[in-house]
Amino acid sequence: MTLADPSRLPLTRGETPAQKTAQAGQRIRDPRLDFFRGIVMFIILIAHTPGNWLTLWIPARFGFSDATEVFVFCSGMASAIAFGAVFRDQGLSMGAARVAFRCWQVYWAHIALFFAIAGTMVFLNSTELFQRDYVGQLNLYPFFNRPEENLLGLLTLTYVPNYFDILPMYLVVLAMMPLVVACHRAHPALAAALIVGVWLGAQVDVLALPAEPWSERHWFFNPFGWQLVFFTGFAFMAGWIPPPPRHKLLVIVTGVIVLVIIPLAYFRVTRQLPEVREWRKEYNVLINKSDFGVLRYVHFLALAYLCWIAVGEAGRRILPPQTGGVLAEGWRRILAVIMKVGQQSLAVFITSMFTARLLGVALDTLGRNSLFNQIIVNLAGFTVLIGVAYGVGWFKSQPWRKKAVR
């Protein structure tokens, strides 16, 4: 696979980075996109494993934004690459059809994930080998107590239990894409107004979706708030927004933002300082995760800028040198694995959500107080994700189409 940055490819008048990527063929990928998506997939597995010691050290502990923002932002960038050429070359209607097909895939991935996890939790309870109630741990009894009503709710996305709410959010944001593209074609300011206006509607609780028929609870991940970070990534990769300048002053400003936010977010500080806890309570709307508060956006943009600077132009600082010793070869192999995981993000994400529950069961059985157990369980989970990424990549390569070697 050729690793290249779309911004480094030849540009014709009016052409965007996403268009260059599409014209160059599917073999051209931005190494930064795959690298960060791969890292996020491992973090998501850690974060969703109950009682995982490593959750104390994931980025979410030190800032308002977390791996979810990276996942959604990178998904927006990837969507600009995947769908941008269709919108450009075949028009809005065909672009909308392409997006609808992706929504169809994500929808059934969500349904399958729910039943896979719910069925597994029922099986674990039925064995009577475990003291923990795994169905109750995920609050799935409401579904099983009223299956007729909640099955319909599950299929219509009016029943979206916590833990199963990321893919529905992503699905709705994807469905907004044709409208945003159409508005941008009419006028860029119209697309910006739509995106910001929808986000503001989420902040004042005007735009939200019901999560269950028997209460007023809304989707934990409000897609009308989270679409802001998705379309920010989309706009950067589509060329709607120019890349920020590489300037020392911006590095200092964004670095200060990240550092100032740490004591406001780090649980060991908030636990000791009642003033910080009171501030967080009073200004929760600014850091609210469900509706994607503005300070989460500011923190993410600052962190993203620092990472963008750190990896260098076209990701040159993460790419191993063409010639080198054992360390360079070792990093080359590690980087290849990370990027493979990033390239198969949907399949890996679904696997991680399922695997995380089983890793939690493993920690329940082996014990969480042993560092050895924690390391072994996490490594086992990472191995599963890597295996799935390579397996899905192999199937996508359609090896059965290749001529057999005689």
Give the phi and the psi of residue 2 in degrees, each rounded to 5: -85, 130
pLDDT at 12 over 90: no
pLDDT over 80 at 71, yes or no: yes
**For residue 406, what pLDDT is reported?**
61
Distance of CA 289 to the CA centre of its chain: 14
Six token digits for residue 194 = 């739509």
- Give the pLDDT confidence score for residue 285 in this predicted structure: 93
Q: Are 176 and 234 a contacting pair, CB within 8 Å?
A: no
First CA to last CA distance, the chain: 26
Q: Can you tell me the mean pLDDT for 239-244? A: 93
Query: What was the pLDDT predicted at 30?
Result: 81
Q: Judge whether residue 27 has pLDDT over 50.
A: no
What lies within 8 Å, CB to CB, of 349 at 6+ separation is 41, 44, 71, 166
143: closest CA among 169, 167, 164, 126?
164
Indicate if the pLDDT at residue 7 is higher than 90: no
Q: Cα(28)–Cα(372) distance, rounded to whole angstroms?
A: 40
Percent of the chain with pLDDT over 90: 79
- A 10 A CB-CB count for 281 gives 8
pTM: 0.89
Note the residue count of the chain.
Answer: 406
Average pLDDT (53-64) is: 92
Asked whether residue 62 carries a pLDDT value surpassing 60, the answer given is yes
Q: pLDDT band at residue 8, thresholds of 50, 70 and 90?
A: very low
Confidence of residue 6 (pLDDT cuts 50, 70, 90): very low
Average pLDDT over residues 222-250: 95
CB 316 within 8 A of CB 246: no
Per-residue confidence band for 337, with pLDDT thresholds at 50, 70 and 90: very high
Distant-in-sequence, close-in-space partners of 10: CB < 8 Å, separation ≥ 6:
20
Q: What is the pLDDT of residues 83-106, one digit of tens each?
A: 998 999 999 999 999 999 999 999
Quote the pLDDT of residue 403: 75
The mean predicted confidence, pLDDT, of the chain is 90
**For position 5, what pLDDT does the model report?**
39
Rounded Cα distance between 137 and 335, Å, is 36
Q: Is the pLDDT of residue 1 over 90?
A: no
Q: What pLDDT is stored for residue 151 in this prediction?
A: 94
Lowest mean pLDDT segment, chosen from 38-52, 118-132, 308-322: 308-322
DSSP 218: B
* Residue 13 reports pLDDT greater than 60: no
Q: What is the mean pLDDT of residues 31-60?
A: 94
pLDDT reported for residue 405: 62
Q: What is the pLDDT of residue 145?
A: 93
